[in-house]
Chains A and B, each alone.
Chain A
Amino acid sequence: MTDPVAVAVGDELPPLALRITRADLVRYAGASGDFNPIHWSDRIAGSAGLPGVIAHGMLTMALAGRMITTWVGDPGAVRSYGVRFTRPVVVPDDDEGACVEISGEVVEVVEDGGVRIARVAITARSDGRTVLGRATAEVLLP
């Protein structure tokens, strides 16, 4: 867990680099209840104009959220979290999958009714391109 007292604007969060494989998509489909076939069928993804099966946007959002929860130490500290899905993450049918790199920076620390809230700007890239836009989270500092 990060030292809450020392959190300041400009702090960079420990970045996260992870891989998303087809097996991850299957597991997320089951856990989330999102069985849209563009997340498991190349045939249907292709007919929807995609280069292949893509990750659930909400999975990418959740993975980026892990950087925040790991940093603050408690997933219950997240007050708000918003993203724009700017580009799909294409997940090839191989052992490597897709690589997503997540980084973040504290852009604001405010006092609100006796508690301190940090606003974090998040960057998520896959294949060198941004996949989440305007991604920010507000986190209650312990």
Chain B
Amino acid sequence: MPDPAFVGRALPPAEPYRIVREKIREFALAIGESALVCHDVEAARAAGHPDLVAPPTFTVTFTMPLIEAFLRDPEFGWDYPRMVHGDQRITLHRPIHGGDELTTTVHVDELRTRGGSHLLTLRCEVADSAGTSVATTNALLVTQAS
């Protein structure tokens, strides 16, 4: 049974995550994104970007490990192996670029139990090294209530 005392809390911010070009290219290749601005620095600069542009769903690479660590924490009491991803929203206040140093804070927004399932809403607030908000992601995660 997940502990409702976590609801409304923010977890301690993660260590800054450095966005490297090679990771952007690797991710773009894995999803078949061939836009030059994801692969070629000169093309990205010519299009007005400071460096390579990360595809919109790239946020998963640095937010999901934090979410997984929280959900595997026995103190929270979540049934991680039987979890399914219900929905996902990604809001980009600006594009994520190579060279960004991003800090993610996970917020436990909501926990409901309905129809034999626990429904958990987690929000990740992503900020750059200047503290400016870069992205907000919202995930609805579902597991069976036993």
* A:94-142 near B, CB below 8 Å: 134, 137
Complex Cα spacing A134 to B85, Å: 14
For the residues of A in contact with B, the DSSP-based class is: helix
Which bucket holds chain A's interface residue count? 35 or more
Do the beta carbons of A82 and B90 come within 8 Å of each other?
Answer: yes
In the bound complex, residues from chain A placing their C-beta under 8 Å from that of B53 are 74-76
> Does A43 interact with chain B (Cβ within 8 Å)?
no
In the bound complex, residues from chain B placing their C-beta under 8 Å from that of A9 are none
> Does B91 interact with chain A (Cβ within 8 Å)?
yes
In the bound complex, residues from chain B placing their C-beta under 8 Å from that of A48 are 81-82
> Does B29 interact with chain A (Cβ within 8 Å)?
yes
Q: How many residues of B are counted as interface, with CB atoms below 8 angstroms from the partner's CB atoms? A: 35
Complex Cα spacing A31 to B23, Å: 7
Which of A's residues lie within 8 Å of B, judged by CB?
Answer: 18, 24, 27-28, 30-34, 48, 57-59, 61-63, 65-66, 68-70, 73-76, 78-85, 134, 137
17 additional A-B residue pairs with CB within 8 Å, beyond A28-B30, A80-B90, A84-B86 = A27-B30, A31-B26, A31-B27, A31-B30, A32-B60, A33-B65, A48-B81, A58-B60, A63-B32, A65-B55, A66-B31, A74-B35, A75-B38, A75-B54, A76-B37, A76-B47, A85-B85
Which of B's residues lie within 8 Å of A, judged by CB?
Answer: 23, 26-27, 29-33, 35, 37-38, 47, 49, 53-57, 60-61, 64-65, 81-82, 84-92, 95, 138
